[in-house]
C-alpha cells in the first residue's frame, strides 16, 4: 500500500494516510472525551464544589445549565472557524480549534472552587465551557474535511468514519478513567464521592486532556493543505464572506444537512445522557428506572459503546458501496423501529437492557459513520468548512440541546415508563427520513469542485 494519497495531480504534495487518519481522529476524540468528562463531573463533582451548599437539586440543575452553555457557543464557533477554514485553509484552523478546546479543558482542572472564591468559581466554569463549545463548533467539520478531502477515490465514506470514531473512543477513555479514579479513591457513602476524589481526584481527567492535545498538535502541524483547498485558491474562488455565500447559494443543503443529523443527535444523547439517568434511577425514586449502581451501568454502557465503534467503521464501506442516501434511509428506518421497542426490551431484565444498549449503540454507529462524508459532500470546497459546520452544529441545538430535557419530561409524563421517550426518538427519526427522501445521493460528487 502506498504511504501517500493521490493528491489529484501528478507530483502534488500529499499527506500520508496515517497522518490523515490520526489528524482527523485526535480532535474529535478530545471533543467527545471532553463531553463525557464534563457530563460525569456535572453529576458527581460540580454540584458539590462550584455552587453554594444547601440545595443539591438546584446545584445539579445549575451544573447542567453550564453544561448546556456550550451548545449556544457551538454555532458561533462553526461560523468563526468555518470562515477561517474556507479563507485561510484547513490546517491553521484545525490547529486553532484544537488549541482553544484543549486549553479550556485543561484549565477546568485548575479552577478554584466556590468555597475558595465564591461565585467567581461558577463564572469561570461558564467561561471555560463557552470556550469549549466555541472550539467544538469548528473542530468536527475541519476534522471531517481533512479525512474526506485527502481520501483515495471511492473511499471517502471509509475515511469519513475516522473523525466519527472519536465519539466511542472519547466515551471509553473518559468513563474508563473516572471509573479507575473512583476505584482508587473509594467512598463509604454511595451517594457522594470520597473526600479525596472531591479534593483532587476529579481534576485528573481534565488535566490528562493536555496529553492528547500535544499529540494532536504535533500531527496537525505536519499536515499539508488538501488539493481541494489549493485548487480553490488557485482558481480564485475563495469567497470574501463564506457565511453569506453559503446562505445565498446553498441554503437548501444547509437545511437538509441539519435534518440529516437530527436522528443521530437525538439517538446519541438518549443512549448516553438519558440512559445513564434512567439506568441508575431506583424503583422507589420519583422517576423510577432500572436501579443499577453507577459502576455496573457504566460498564454495561461501555460494552454497548464498543459496538458503536465497530459499526461506525462498518458503515463506511457500506456507504461507499451502496451510497450514503440508501444506507442512511435503511438505518433511519431501523432507528424508527427501535424507538417503538424500548418498553419490551427494557422489561427483559439485564439481558434485555444489555440488548437495548447494544442495539442502540450499533444503530448510532451506523447513522453517525456516513455523516463524516455526507455533510462535507453537500457543499463545494469554497464554502465546505462553513456549510458542513453550520449544519452539524445547528442540528446539535435541535437534537442534542433539547433531547435530555424532552426525554425527562416524557419520562415523567409516562409515570416512569420510557415508552414516550422511544416514541420521541421515532418521531425525530421520521424527520430525518423525510430529509433523506428529499435529498440526493452525494457519493459521486467531485470533492475538489
Which residue bears the cell 453569506?
Answer: 244
The count of C-alpha atoms lying within 13 angstroms of the C-alpha of 424, restricted to the half-sphere facing its C-beta, is 24
Closest CA relative to residue 242, chosen from 133, 387, 108: 387
- At 15 the pLDDT is 74
Q: Which of 439, 375, 445, 383 is nearest to 147 (CA)?
A: 375
Give the chain's radius of gyration (CA, Å).
21
Question: In whole angstroms, what is the distance from residue 129 CA to residue 207 CA?
Answer: 15
Domain ranges of the chain: 17-438
351 exposure class (CB count in 10 Å sphere: 0-12, 13-18, 19+): exposed
206: left (phi over 0), alpha (psi -120 to 50) or beta: alpha
Give me the pLDDT at residue 343, please: 95
What share of the chain in percent tops pLDDT 90?
Answer: 58
Instruction: Return the higher-pLDDT residue of 40 and 320.
Output: 320
Long-range own/partner contacts, residues 9-18 (CB < 8 A, 24 or more apart): 9/227, 12/227, 13/224, 14/150, 14/224, 15/150, 15/223, 15/224, 15/226
CA distance 184 to 158: 39
Residue 125 pLDDT exceeds 80: yes
Is residue 190 exposed (0-12), middle (13-18) or buried (19+ Cβ within 10 Å)? exposed
Is a pLDDT exceeding 70 seen at residue 11?
Answer: no
CA distance 108 to 37: 11
The answer, yes or no, to whether residue 118 has pLDDT greater than 60, is yes
On whether the CB atoms of residues 347 and 422 are closer than 8 A, the answer is: no
Predicted pLDDT at 93: 92
Q: Go through 331-344 and write b for each residue having 16 or more CB atoms within 10 A of its CB, e for each that does not.
A: bbebbbebbebbee
Q: What value does the mean pLDDT take over residues 201-221?
A: 89
Q: Please report the pLDDT score of residue 157 as a whole number.
A: 97
With bands split at pLDDT 50, 70 and 90, how would you rate the model's confidence at 287? confident
pTM: 0.88
CA–CA dist 266, 339 (Å, integer): 11
For residues 139 and 150, the answer to whether their CB atoms sit within 8 Å is no
Average of per-residue pLDDT across 25-50: 84
Taking Cα atoms as reference points, which of 175, 204, 184, 135 lies closest to residue 43? 175
Coil/strand/helix, residue 4 = strand
| Mean residue pLDDT across the chain | 89
pLDDT of 375 higher than 90: yes
Higher pLDDT, 8 or 205: 205
Q: What is the pLDDT of residue 301?
A: 94
pLDDT of residue 102: 87
For the chain, percent of residues with pLDDT exceeding 70: 94
- Tell me how far apart the alpha carbons of residues 270 and 416 are, in angstroms, rounded to a whole number: 15
Instruction: Report the alpha-carbon distance of residue 287 to residue 411 in Å, rounded.
Output: 7
Q: Give the model's pLDDT for residue 213.
A: 86
Say how many CA atoms lie within 13 Å of 415 toward its Cβ: 0
Least confident of 3-12, 65-74, 86-95, 389-398: 3-12
The mean pLDDT value for 45-67 works out to: 78
Compare 362 and 189 and report the one with higher pLDDT. 362
Taking 90 as the threshold, does the pLDDT of residue 226 lie above it?
no
Weakest-pLDDT range from 188-192, 221-225, 228-232, 431-435: 188-192
Give the chain's count of helices (H) and strands (E). 23, 0
Domain spanning 17-438: which superfamily?
Answer: MFS general substrate transporter like domains (1.20.1250.20)
Average pLDDT over residues 258-265: 97
pLDDT at 26: 85
Question: What is the structure's pLDDT at 27?
Answer: 81
Is the confidence at residue 10, as pLDDT, over 80? no
**Residue-wise pLDDT tens digits, 108-117:** 999 999 999 9
C-alpha cell at 52: 453554594
**28, 170 contact by CB (below 8 A):** yes
Query: Per-residue pLDDT averaged across 253-280, rounded?
Result: 92
d(CA 389, CA 73): 13
- pLDDT, residue 8, reads 40
Amino acid at each position: 500500500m502506498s504511504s501517500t494519497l493521490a493528491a489529484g495531480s501528478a507530483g502534488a504534495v500529499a499527506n500520508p494516510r496515517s497522518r490523515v487518519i490520526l489528524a482527523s481522529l485526535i480532535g474529535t476524540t478530545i471533543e467527545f472525551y471532553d463531553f463525557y468528562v464534563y457530563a460525569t463531573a456535572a453529576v458527581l463533582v460540580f454540584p458539590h464544589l462550584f455552587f453554594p451548599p444547601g440545595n443539591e437539586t438546584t446545584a445539579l440543575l445549575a451544573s447542567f445549565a453550564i453544561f448546556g452553555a456550550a451548545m449556544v457557543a457551538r454555532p458561533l464557533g462553526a461560523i468563526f472557524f468555518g470562515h477561517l477554514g474556507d479563507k485561510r485553509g484547513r490546517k491553521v484552523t484545525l490547529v486553532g480549534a484544537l488549541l482553544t478546546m484543549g486549553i479550556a479543558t485543561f484549565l477546568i482542572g485548575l479552577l478554584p472552587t466556590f468555597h475558595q472564591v465564591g461565585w467567581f468559581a461558577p463564572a469561570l466554569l461558564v467561561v471555560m465551557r463557552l470556550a469549549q463549545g466555541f472550539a467544538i463548533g469548528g473542530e468536527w467539520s475541519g476534522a471531517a474535511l481533512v479525512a474526506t478531502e485527502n481520501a483515495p477515490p471511492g473511499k471517502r465514506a471509509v475515511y469519513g468514519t475516522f473523525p466519527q470514531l472519536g465519539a466511542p473512543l472519547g466515551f471509553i477513555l473518559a468513563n474508563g478513567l473516572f471509573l479507575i479514579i473512583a476505584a482508587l479513591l473509594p467512598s463509604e457513602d454511595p451517594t457522594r464521592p470520597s473526600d479525596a476524589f472531591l479534593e483532587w481526584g476529579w481534576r485528573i481527567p481534565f488535566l490528562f486532556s493536555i496529553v492528547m492535545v500535544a499529540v494532536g498538535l504535533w500531527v496537525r502541524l505536519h499536515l499539508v493543505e488538501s488539493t481541494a483547498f489549493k485548487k480553490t485558491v488557485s482558481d480564485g474562488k475563495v469567497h470574501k464572506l463564506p457565511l453569506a455565500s453559503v446562505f445565498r447559494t446553498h441554503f437548501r443543503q444547509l437545511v437538509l444537512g441539519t435534518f440529516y443529523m437530527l436522528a443521530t443527535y437525538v439517538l446519541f444523547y438518549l443512549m448516553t445522557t438519558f440512559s445513564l439517568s434512567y439506568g441508575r434511577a431506583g424503583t422507589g425514586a420519583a422517576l423510577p428506572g432500572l436501579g443499577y449502581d453507577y459502576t455496573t451501568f457504566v460498564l454495561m454502557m461501555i460494552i454497548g459503546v464498543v459496538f458503536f465503534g465497530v459499526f461506525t467503521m462498518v458503515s463506511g464501506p457500506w456507504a461507499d458501496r451502496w451510497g450514503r442516501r440508501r444506507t442512511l434511509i435503511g438505518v433511519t428506518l431501523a432507528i424508527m423501529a427501535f424507538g417503538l421497542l424500548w418498553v419490551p426490551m427494557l422489561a427483559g431484565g439485564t439481558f434485555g437492557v444489555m440488548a437495548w444498549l447494544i442495539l442502540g449503540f450499533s444503530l448510532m454507529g451506523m447513522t453517525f459513520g456516513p455523516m463524516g462524508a455526507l455533510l462535507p459532500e453537500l457543499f463545494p470546497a469554497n464554502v465546505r468548512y462553513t456549510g458542513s459546520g453550520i449544519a452539524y452544529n445547528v442540528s446539535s441545538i435541535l437534537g442534542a440541546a433539547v433531547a435530555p430535557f424532552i426525554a425527562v419530561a416524557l419520562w415523567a409524563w409516562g409515570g416512569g415508563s420510557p415508552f414516550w421517550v422511544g416514541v420521541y426518538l421515532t418521531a425525530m427519526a421520521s424527520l430525518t427520513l423525510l430529509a433523506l427522501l428529499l435529498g440526493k445521493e452525494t457519493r459521486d460528487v467531485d470533492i475538489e469542485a
